[in-house]
Chains A and B, each alone.
Chain A
Amino acid sequence: MNPLAPYEPSARDPFDLRKCGHLLRRAGFGASLPERQRLVREGLAAALQHVAPPLAEVPAADALLNEAIAFGSIERVRAFRVWLALQNTHPLRERLSYFWHGHFATSNSKVQDPRAMALMMATFDRLGTGRFDELLTAMLRDPALLRWLDNDVNTSKQPNENLAREVFELFALGRGNYSERDIKEAARALTGWHVRDGQFFRAGYLHDDGDKEVLGVRGKLDGDDVAAIAAARPESARFLAERWLRFFVHPQPERDEIDALAGAYEQHGRDVGATLRVLLGSRLFFSARAYRSKIKSPADFVIGSVRLIGGRAQPTALVAAMATLGETWLEPPSVEGWHGELAWLSPAAWLLRSNFVADLLAGRRGKLAPRAAELLRGYTRPDHLARAASLFCCDGDLSADASERLLEVARAAQGDRAATVLHAATCLPEYQLL
């Protein structure tokens, strides 16, 4: 059976709070309980429309982008990105820009240009839901990426292979789908693709305009050609399909799932947004195999907790919290991005996550407004408190053991019982899963 067959809610398999929470976490950065309850009432189609509205309907944040750039600090750009994710006006776009940032993992530690980093992220916002070949073409002309991978010193006399290698290995094809010779030839094609005054600059006098052969295509190839050739390979469809499945669905996709998604990608004219809409509406996406199969990243945990619990969190404070948990946007550890999954959750990292929520609930460190206890105001009986915390934090879906222990916490809690119970719910293993 086609794993991408559409999920059709039924009385036996309804679109409920569990499925709605799953969709909003995976295709966005989560949502408050009232918002999730509203979308459950409105149904699957409305929820899918909510996570991926037509781009034209989403107000642009250009003014804030320009302000962040004008400020000239990378911290300000990071805060802007966290603010966008907190707003989540176009959940899937925000999510995809996060995906592409990990995919074209570029670090300001080397680029040293907050403006270029901000514009790179804006390119993901603009093109990330469109066609991959257009995105790849734009990325091979992206000033931040060109600097990050040393292409600003790649010249016809002195070729530098760094960008060419990563285009094939990490961006478009994956290991085993190209040769060392392809890398050498692509590096030649990319000679002279430089940066001048913060803009892409095609330095003709440094470009090798001889014949090259990249992945079987011959000609006087340049950087645009490398992008087009790589993006057009059938291997690229499978490579991207696997990446998307890992990011949106399950960390260990099966071959038939990869084949199906690669097929959908081809069918939909290699349009990323259209492909992902198919994926997000599929039985596979809503399957038990996908639900809670991933570990929340620090961004998922921090931004998701704030969207869940509320409070007026300063984006800069959230940037700092994410950094403590091991994820600093615009500064991935290497060109391979973040490792993700259980690598996020060492014992120490778990402790720091728990402490973040404790601070959030208590309004501590002067960074977060205490509002959390209000969420459970009106619930006084321990079983009601425990049930409400389970709905808030864990889709109301907990094992008997976890429910029982949460109830024990609610029974024994003193003082700010709501905060204690909510904190305990976020300490449950279920809450660490995406």
Chain B
Amino acid sequence: MNVDRRTFLRGAACAPLALSLGRGGAWLPGGDERCLLVLELVGGNDGLNTVIPVDDADYARLRPKLGAVRRGARALGDGTSLHPSLARLHGHIAAGRGAVVHGVGYAPPDRSHFRSRDIWHVGDPAHQQVGATTTGWLGRAAEQLVAAAGGAGNGLPAAAIGGLEVPLLLHSRRVPVPSLVRVEDFQWLSPGARGPIAADAPSRHVVGAGGAGELLAAVRAAQTAGVELADGLTAALQRYTPKADYPDDDLGRHLQLIARLLVAGVGTRLLHTSFGGFDTHARQLPTHAGLLRQLDAGLGALLDDLAGHGCLDRVGVLVHSEFGRRAAENASQGSDHGAAGPVFVFGGGVQGGTFGQKPDLSRLVDGDVPPTCDFRRVYAELLGRLGVPVEPVLGEGFEPIGLW
């Protein structure tokens, strides 16, 4: 059967097996557990204009117009500099709370956004067809966390923040993963009286109802988990007061919701959110600078907020994109789909600075910076930090980089 992942059942995340939600507020207290946020820059962030190889003689030649970002860029100490929009994140790196890993990707590169995102999400460049049973690397990590907890108790080990779709990387065959947009949305409302449906309301009879079949079972699992979520989340989130000012945009709101979940310690340990618009084929400079400014403000606030609550030490943040962009700028003052790019890792205890081989623009492969670090090595590093065994999630042979 020819399966196209674009419209395929993506519901492995809601699959019915072993729906092991605790009853009656059995949320893990959290508190000392390590957590991971994956912040995905969607569209193919221009790595060479984010972590800029300012010392590379070929940079100016390849990017006569886009190279203007060098002015005001902040040095990272290895001949590369951070885009001028990223002042706050540069501060976190300089203070030893953030790392840059150069040249992360996979070979050979795939220049389709969709295919390359799938590869990053599944965690396997050889994986061909995404289908109903395809799982994502973070979804598999969630399975490991639930298994380690004895398969019970934790209401919400993983969550997708900011959209209603659960992205592929959080798909699991065994753990239901919700998506969240605003905390206020998560009461289960009654059609009669104002306010939520009471714990003893007759409508509760329909929770878990319905006929046989895989699809109905998946819907039923989503319903059961949704009601569970509504009942438990609101109370848990009361425990948070912000310690940083978040920007008034979608990314800022999503990151603040993430902070609320992390600070409240609802037991949610794996999170994903995405931030789009990085497909800068034309007139890139102002667009890209604006996007990075938003990223800097939002992520900077999150890191400060978590630090203010004393929980940055247990949080790791990975910032990546599905690919970098071609080394040479295009003729539309933009850049086209490329291959490897830098990733950022933030968090307490991380070794600050830059890791891996910085891009060498005299040694391009097919016009691209080739990958010098397999993306799964970064994943392995993060899984190790979480205490999740690497092999069941990624397979064998991915040496950590030594960020911690």
Contact = CB atoms under 8 A, between A and B. Distances in A.
A204 B397 CA distance: 55
A339 B132 CA distance: 12
A136 interface: no
Contacts of B241: none
Given A342-B14, A409-B206, A412-B202, A427 B223 contact: yes
B177 interface: yes
A293 B14 contact: no
B203 A242 contact: no
Of B166, B180, B229, most A-chain CB atoms within 10 Å? B166
B362 interface: no
B2 interface: yes
A359 B114 CA distance: 37
Contacts of A424: 202-203, 205-206
A153 B165 contact: no
A326 interface: yes
Nearest to A337: B6
A341 interface: yes
Contacts of B310: none
B336 A161 contact: yes
A362 B197 CA distance: 14
A158 B332 CA distance: 7
A346 B165 contact: yes
Interface in B184-235: 185-194, 202-203, 205-207, 209-212, 215-216, 218-220, 222-230
Contacts of A429: 209-211, 216, 219-220, 223
A277 to B, nearest CB: 23
Contacts of A283: none
A429 B164 CA distance: 18
Interface residues of A, number: 80
A224 to B, nearest CB: 23
A174 interface: yes
Given A350-B223, A429-B223, 5 more contacts: A175-B115, A358-B190, A405-B205, A420-B191, A433-B215
Interface in A94-143: 109
A275 B10 CA distance: 28
Given A334-B113, A423-B203, A254 B1 contact: yes
Contacts of B176: 347
Interface in B99-119: 112-115
A361 interface: yes
18 contacts: A160-B332, A242-B4, A246-B7, A252-B9, A340-B7, A346-B178, A347-B176, A347-B229, A348-B229, A351-B188, A401-B211, A402-B210, A409-B202, A409-B203, A420-B202, A429-B210, A429-B211, A430-B210
Given A158-B332, A346-B222, A402-B209, A341 B9 contact: yes
Interface in A231-271: 242-243, 246-247, 251-252, 254-255, 258
Contacts of A412: 202, 205
Contacts of A157: 331
Contact of A326 (B164, B186, B207, B334): B164
A175 B2 CA distance: 12
Nearest to B213: A292
A347 to B, nearest CB: 4
Given A347-B222, A399-B211, A251 B7 contact: yes
A394 to B, nearest CB: 10
Contact of A420 (B113, B203, B282): B203
A348 B112 contact: no
Given A405-B206, A415-B193, A420-B202, A350 B219 contact: yes
Contact of A343 (B11, B186, B190): B11
Interface string B228-270: 1110000000000000000000000000000000000000000
B49 interface: no
Contacts of B160: 346
Interface string B326-367: 000011101010000000000000000000000000000000
Interface string A394-431: 00001101100110110111111001101110011110
A324 B185 contact: yes
Contacts of B132: 342
Contact of B3 (A155, A252, A324): A252
Of B6, B115, B276, most A-chain CB atoms within 10 Å? B6
**Size bin of chain B's contact surface:** 35 or more
Contact of A348 (B3, B4, B178, B191): B178
Given A347-B229, A427-B203, A430-B216, A419 B181 contact: no
Contacts of A254: 1
Nearest to B221: A347
A419 B191 CA distance: 6
The prevalent SS among residues of B at the interface is loop
Contacts of B332: 150, 153, 158, 160
A242 B114 CA distance: 19
Nearest to A404: B209
A132 B12 CA distance: 34
B212 A399 contact: yes
A341 to B, nearest CB: 5
B92 interface: no
Nearest to A298: B164
6 smallest A-B Cβ distances: which pairs? A342-B11, A158-B331, A326-B164, A399-B211, A412-B202, A429-B210
Contacts of A432: 219
Contact of A162 (B191, B205, B276, B281): B281
Interface string A140-157: 000000000010010101
Nearest to A327: B164
Contacts of A408: 202, 205
A160 B212 CA distance: 51
B165 A344 contact: yes
B250 to A, nearest CB: 12
Interface string B278-290: 0001100000000
Given A361-B191, A409-B205, A339 B230 contact: no
B163 interface: yes
Contact of B185 (A169, A255, A351, A372): A351
B225 to A, nearest CB: 4
B180 A348 contact: yes
A352 interface: yes
A324 B181 contact: yes
A428 B206 contact: yes
A427 B177 CA distance: 20
A347 B4 contact: no
Of A169, A342, A355, most B-chain CB atoms within 10 Å? A342
Interface string A50-79: 000000000000000000000000000000
Contact of A359 (B189, B224, B334): B189
A422 B192 CA distance: 11
A258 B219 CA distance: 27
B179 interface: yes
Given A325-B164, A405-B205, A424-B205, A150 B281 contact: yes
Nearest to B176: A347
A311 interface: no
A189 to B, nearest CB: 17
Contact of A345 (B7, B115, B222, B330): B222
Nearest to B164: A326
A416 B192 contact: yes
A341 B8 CA distance: 7
Of A174, A339, A362, most B-chain CB atoms within 10 Å? A339
A213 to B, nearest CB: 22
